[in-house]
A and B are shown apart, each in its own frame.
Chain A
Amino acid sequence: MPPKNLKRKATATDGTLKNTACTSQTLAEQLSYLHLPRPFKNPEYTKNLNRRAKNLKNIMGQERERERAEREKRRLEKAEKDAMEVDGKEVTMESEEIPTYLSIEAPPSVLPHKHYCDITGLEAPYTDPVTGLRYHDKDVYALIKEMSASTAKEYLSARGVNSIVK
């Protein structure tokens, strides 16, 4: 049993009791469960505290590496198998690809993109050569001309065009 929190065990499991017992507890304290006993945790388990929480980039990198390694291995195996040329009846279990997080990501679209106005959202037959924004009609164009460069960049970044130069 974890050494702490033994005293509070009786009252703490029932959240409603706290209302009547302590008057000056804030709502947050009542909702907190830090002091509730958690006997189900294994006290001997020590988290590897030295391990830093990996961020998304690292994990994706790892996945990619792993995938590459898998593919290499599979290719080697297949090459071996072909070289051995055993009874053709051997069916590999792994004839299907194992999907990984990255492999099932949808590919980019091959359909032609429809142009929508960056400002109003309506259809945009025209593009402004100076800023690159798409616009719906001449009034929107007047609006674009008055815009500052930073506003224009914001609109572009909403569309995913992150131009660094201009």
Chain B
Amino acid sequence: MDIDVQPSDDLAITPLPFSIIPSIPPSPEDYTLHRSQHTPIIIDNGSTNLRWGFATSSEPRYGPNIVAKYRERKTNHPLMLFGDAVEVESGAKTQAKTPWEGDVLLNFDALENALDYAFVQLGIDTPTVDHPVLMTERLCSPVHSRALTSELMFEQYSVPSLAYCVDGIMSFYQNSQFSGQPFVSDGLVISFNTASTSVIPILNGRGVLNNAKRIPWGASQATDYLLKLIQMKYPNFPTRVSVAQANWMFRTFCSVSTDYLSLLRSFEDPSILRSHQKIIQFPFLLNSNPLTGGAAGNGDEKTEEELARITERRREQGRKLQEIAARNRIEKLQQKESDLTYLLSLRDNYSSSATKREWDRKLREEGFDDEETFEDTLKKLEADVKKGRKKEKEKEGGTVDGEDVDEPMEEPSFPLVDIPDADLDPSSLAEKKKQKLLKAGYEARLRARKERELKAIKDREEKAEREKQRELEEKLDSEAREADLEGWARKLKGEQEALMTRIKDRAKRRAAMSDRKSAAKQERMKNIANLAAADEKMLGGSGTSKKGGKGTGKGVGKGTGKGRKGNAEDMFGADDADWAIYRKINTTTTISSDEEEDLAQLQQIEHKLLTHDPTFTNQHTHASIVSQRSALLNAFRPVYEEGDGAGNTRIHLTTERWRVCEAWFSPSIAGVDSAGLGEVIQNILSRFGEEEKGRLVKNIFLSGSPSQIPDIAPRLYSTLRPLFPVEMPIEIRSANDPALDAWRGMAKFAKTEEFATVGMSKAEYEEMGGERLKRWWGSNWNGGF
């Protein structure tokens, strides 16, 4: 991902980060430390990240919980990649599978592969994994998921014992202050996970899970929501924004606002909105054609010379085609001529010397049925050749008027027309008729030609006159202008405003037409009804009223058929003003001629004002006023010019930064039908007594990676404070290391003696099945024994 950007100083532009190529992971641990030690293995199986390690290590290993089994394209090697390594191959990315779907562990194979990787990294090379294992589960995980993992662990890896726990509780354990004593602590754990957020009350060191609640909103839903908002805000964005990029944006820029409503109200002022925005610059190409996309990266940078070259090439091609066409035409003409000469020679040869029969035979040989057809084809050929010759002369001589070429042709003569009918025999009579027709046509053509010439002359005269008039007007106008610039400008501005109001009214009227119940529609119905009114009395004459109710029937019209009622004649349409009614009835939204005239006039006036009046700028023209957007919308989503490659690939995040995180407190803004954090906490605490409430509220603990969103704690405090009596102290704290504390808590616990008692042994698994687990203070309750 190359970035061509110069960040400007006044805008807070952040470029998109490079994607990191994963490095070779650290070599697996030396197993000799743990061989036959039965060191517990701790696995924190998270939706996003898998963390694992021996209990004695200080740091877990971790990686994104994604597995891709993939066959490399070039070498055809099958590969298996885990975690970050999946980013290396784009083919692998599409085939990546994760064991989790949201909150539920589903994919058996993927989980197996992930665990394989984990154990390989730990360096285990014994036939079984000979260590007790402590794994995490979701809160009240569906038993199917648990059965999956238990089966894997016991049957595939043959672990000696397996214990499950809830990650939030272990993180709480890690962060509670005590040393060595059994864990007795009270508090309310709010565990922010990838696909859900859970609230777990803990009393006396045990999780009271039947009062726990889970909100189906987590970091992944927030990322999706942010992505959707961005896509809707920028529908024509040149590049595709990926989920990973949206995730980065979410993690970097989004935060919770302590008082959402007042923040929103402050945004009424566009400058404040602008000061709170964050801009992300996506990679783009310089000098890019906006049509091909700023960052599409197809390298089509067309410079001036290239464009010129392309047009030249096109012109050449056009010329070549023309030449080819001309050549074809000439060939055909020559062919026809040769045919003609051949046929003529044929006729001369045979019709003069040979007998009729021989002539017929020859004709049939040539393919003509009889002499008639022969003569017809001959005539046609002659006409074609003549036309062809004429066209050739045109093309070469360059005369525009085909008529000029006509002149040298002799006037066709019609000899038989003048001879009276009586003198002619029947065949000649037929001839005469034909000639009459031809003569009439010829004369008509001559007349038409003459008329055209006359008309052309008249047009030219009219144009000259109009020109003169216009010049006169302009002179007057400029004189008026020079005399009194202000007055002239004022007059024109007045006209412009009048025109603009007219246009606006028309637009409003048109909009009102689409609403069924508006006044405009009702008026229209009244007009139509009047037209159709079956009145005997003819309202006759010219349309006196505006509505122009006329006649007795709607003679033309809206589908009521023949509407002649009574014996009164339908006089609608006799008067031209009648047709004006259709202006009012017509609901189609095409621009009528009136509007076009108005717009043209408006343009003229504006043009004059622009050139002569210094105070009238482009801002005042009708076009710019219509397309002006409010200052607020401009601050919200600035519009960049077409050619501004950099600008068009920027994303401005303003209200989205807080909107996305607000969803934790009211998921309904994002379409999730659930109560928000504040309400859920209130619900849970209402089930406890006052004294217990106090204990819980005094120690509210935030855990999980998404709890690192800034300002969650202050917001939570301000949400909860009004719910409880003032004397009750509310304290909110978050984990020291939200991402890894669950693992650390588990490791700490695994080193205690209690750990040995909480695991489920293989024998118990075989007896009870995979859906059960041993219940202890840190585990789930469903299926416990």
Seen from chain B, the residues whose Cβ lies within 8 Å of a Cβ on chain A are: 21-22, 24-25, 27-28, 69, 72, 75, 77-82, 85, 88-89, 92, 101-102, 104, 106-109, 116-117, 119-120, 123-129, 138-145, 155-158, 198, 209-210, 212-216, 225, 228-229, 232, 235, 261, 264-265, 267-268, 629-630, 632-633, 636, 654-656, 658-659, 666-676, 679-680, 683, 781-782, 784
Measured between C-beta atoms, what is the minimum distance from B450 to chain A in Å? 56
Residues of chain B within 8 A (CB-CB) of A139 are 629-630, 632-633
Q: Within the complex, which residue of A32, A47, A158 is in contact with B81, where a contact is CB–CB below 8 Å?
A: A32
Q: How far is it, in angstroms, between the C-alpha of A160 and the C-alpha of B129 when the chains are bound?
A: 47
Residues of chain A within 8 A (CB-CB) of B629 are 139
Q: Which of A40, A56, A63 is most buried by chain B, counting CB atoms within 10 A of its CB? A: A40
Residue contact A56 to B101, C-beta cutoff 8 Å: yes
Q: How far is it, in angstroms, between the C-alpha of A45 and the C-alpha of B666 when the chains are bound?
A: 48
* 7 A-B pairs with least C-beta separation: A160-B671, A121-B655, A139-B630, A31-B85, A34-B80, A32-B79, A109-B675
Residues of chain B within 8 A (CB-CB) of A158 are 225, 228-229, 232, 670-671
A115 (CB) vs chain B CBs: closest residue: B669
Residue contact A59 to B106, C-beta cutoff 8 Å: yes
B216 (CB) vs chain A CBs: closest residue: A105
Q: How far is it, in angstroms, between the C-alpha of A16 and the C-alpha of B80 when the chains are bound?
A: 17
Q: Assuming A53-B107, A106-B680, A160-B673, is B72 touching A28 (CB within 8 A)? A: yes
Q: Within the complex, which residue of B88, B108, B225 is in contact with A27, where a contact is CB–CB below 8 Å?
A: B88
Q: How far is it, in angstroms, between the C-alpha of A60 and the C-alpha of B636 when the chains are bound?
A: 42
Residue contact A104 to B213, C-beta cutoff 8 Å: yes
Interface size of A in residues (CB-CB distance below 8 Å): 67
Residue contact A31 to B81, C-beta cutoff 8 Å: yes
Q: How far is it, in angstroms, between the C-alpha of A7 and the C-alpha of B328 when the chains are bound?
A: 77
Q: Assuming A31-B24, A56-B104, A109-B676, is B683 touching A104 (CB within 8 A)? A: no
Measured between C-beta atoms, what is the minimum distance from A165 to chain B in Å? 18
Q: Which of A99, A103, A111, A155 is most buried by chain B, counting CB atoms within 10 A of its CB? A: A99
Q: How far is it, in angstroms, between the C-alpha of A55 and the C-alpha of B105 when the chains are bound?
A: 10
Residue contact B264 to A47, C-beta cutoff 8 Å: no
Residue contact B104 to A99, C-beta cutoff 8 Å: no
Measured between C-beta atoms, what is the minimum distance from B266 to chain A in Å? 10
Residue contact B22 to A107, C-beta cutoff 8 Å: no
Q: Which of B24, B109, B124 is most buried by chain A, counting CB atoms within 10 A of its CB? A: B24
Residues of chain A within 8 A (CB-CB) of B670 are 158-160
Q: Within the complex, which residue of B88, B125, B229 is in contact with A39, where a contact is CB–CB below 8 Å?
A: B125
Chain A 68-81 against B: per-residue CB contact (8 Å), 1 yes, 0 no? Answer: 00000000000000
Q: Assuming A38-B116, A139-B633, is B232 touching A100 (CB within 8 A)? A: no
Residue contact B116 to A56, C-beta cutoff 8 Å: no
Q: How far is it, in angstroms, between the C-alpha of A56 and the C-alpha of B679 when the chains are bound?
A: 28
Residue contact B632 to A13, C-beta cutoff 8 Å: no
Residues of chain B within 8 A (CB-CB) of A27 are 21, 88
Seen from chain A, the residues whose Cβ lies within 8 Å of a Cβ on chain B are: 1, 13-16, 19, 26-34, 36-42, 45, 47, 53-56, 59-60, 62-63, 66, 96-101, 103-111, 113-114, 116, 120-123, 137, 139-140, 143, 151, 154-155, 157-161
Residues of chain B within 8 A (CB-CB) of A53 are 106-109
B22 (CB) vs chain A CBs: closest residue: A31
Residues of chain A within 8 A (CB-CB) of B216 are 105-106
Residues of chain B within 8 A (CB-CB) of A41 are 116, 156-157
Residue contact B24 to A39, C-beta cutoff 8 Å: no
Residue contact A97 to B210, C-beta cutoff 8 Å: yes
Residue contact B679 to A122, C-beta cutoff 8 Å: no
Residue contact B127 to A123, C-beta cutoff 8 Å: no
Residue contact A99 to B79, C-beta cutoff 8 Å: no
B199 (CB) vs chain A CBs: closest residue: A106
Residues of chain B within 8 A (CB-CB) of A154 are 228, 232
Residue contact A13 to B673, C-beta cutoff 8 Å: no
Residue contact A34 to B78, C-beta cutoff 8 Å: yes
Q: Assuming A15-B24, A39-B127, A121-B656, is B141 touching A101 (CB within 8 A)? A: yes
Measured between C-beta atoms, what is the minimum distance from B85 to chain A in Å? 4
Q: How far is it, in angstroms, between the C-alpha of A58 and the C-alpha of B209 when the chains are bound?
A: 25
Q: How far is it, in angstroms, between the C-alpha of A54 and the C-alpha of B145 when the chains are bound?
A: 10
Q: How far is it, in angstroms, between the C-alpha of A27 and the C-alpha of B232 when the chains are bound?
A: 38
Measured between C-beta atoms, what is the minimum distance from B199 to chain A in Å? 8
Q: How far is it, in angstroms, between the C-alpha of A144 and the C-alpha of B24 when the chains are bound?
A: 52
Measured between C-beta atoms, what is the minimum distance from A21 to chain B in Å? 13
Q: Assuming A29-B72, A100-B140, is B82 touching A1 (CB within 8 A)? A: no
Q: Assuming A39-B126, A109-B674, is B666 touching A15 (CB within 8 A)? A: no
Residue contact B157 to A106, C-beta cutoff 8 Å: no
Q: Assuming A101-B140, A109-B674, is B235 touching A151 (CB within 8 A)? A: yes
15 extra interchain contacts, Cβ-Cβ under 8 A, other than A39-B127, A66-B143, A122-B267? A28-B89, A40-B128, A40-B158, A41-B157, A42-B127, A42-B158, A47-B108, A59-B142, A63-B144, A96-B210, A105-B214, A106-B213, A109-B676, A111-B679, A158-B228
Measured between C-beta atoms, what is the minimum distance from A126 to chain B in Å? 15
Residues of chain B within 8 A (CB-CB) of A39 are 124-127
Q: How far is it, in angstroms, between the C-alpha of A66 and the C-alpha of B119 when the chains are bound?
A: 34
Residue contact A114 to B213, C-beta cutoff 8 Å: no
Q: How far is it, in angstroms, between the C-alpha of A63 and the C-alpha of B146 when the chains are bound?
A: 12
Residues of chain A within 8 A (CB-CB) of B675 are 106-111
Q: Within the complex, which residue of B75, B214, B225, B668 is in contact with A113, where a contact is CB–CB below 8 Å?
A: B668
Q: How far is it, in angstroms, between the C-alpha of A123 and the C-alpha of B659 when the chains are bound?
A: 11
B265 (CB) vs chain A CBs: closest residue: A123
Q: How far is it, in angstroms, between the C-alpha of A76 and the C-alpha of B261 when the chains are bound?
A: 51
Q: Within the complex, which residue of B72, B667, B784 is in contact with A26, where a contact is CB–CB below 8 Å?
A: B72
Residue contact A160 to B668, C-beta cutoff 8 Å: yes
Q: Assuming A31-B88, A107-B674, A109-B674, is B125 touching A40 (CB within 8 A)? A: yes
Residue contact B659 to A106, C-beta cutoff 8 Å: no
Q: Assuming A41-B116, A116-B669, is B79 touching A29 (CB within 8 A)? A: yes
Residue contact B77 to A120, C-beta cutoff 8 Å: no
Q: Within the complex, which residue of B85, B143, B232, B679 is in contact with A63, where a contact is CB–CB below 8 Å?
A: B143
Q: How far is it, in angstroms, between the C-alpha of A103 and the C-alpha of B142 when the chains are bound?
A: 11
Residues of chain A within 8 A (CB-CB) of B107 are 53
Measured between C-beta atoms, what is the minimum distance from A119 to chain B in Å? 8
Q: Give me 8 A-to-B residue pairs in the complex whose CB atoms sit less than 8 angstroms apart, sorted by A's number.
A: A31-B24, A39-B126, A53-B107, A53-B108, A54-B106, A107-B683, A139-B630, A158-B228
Residue contact A98 to B781, C-beta cutoff 8 Å: yes
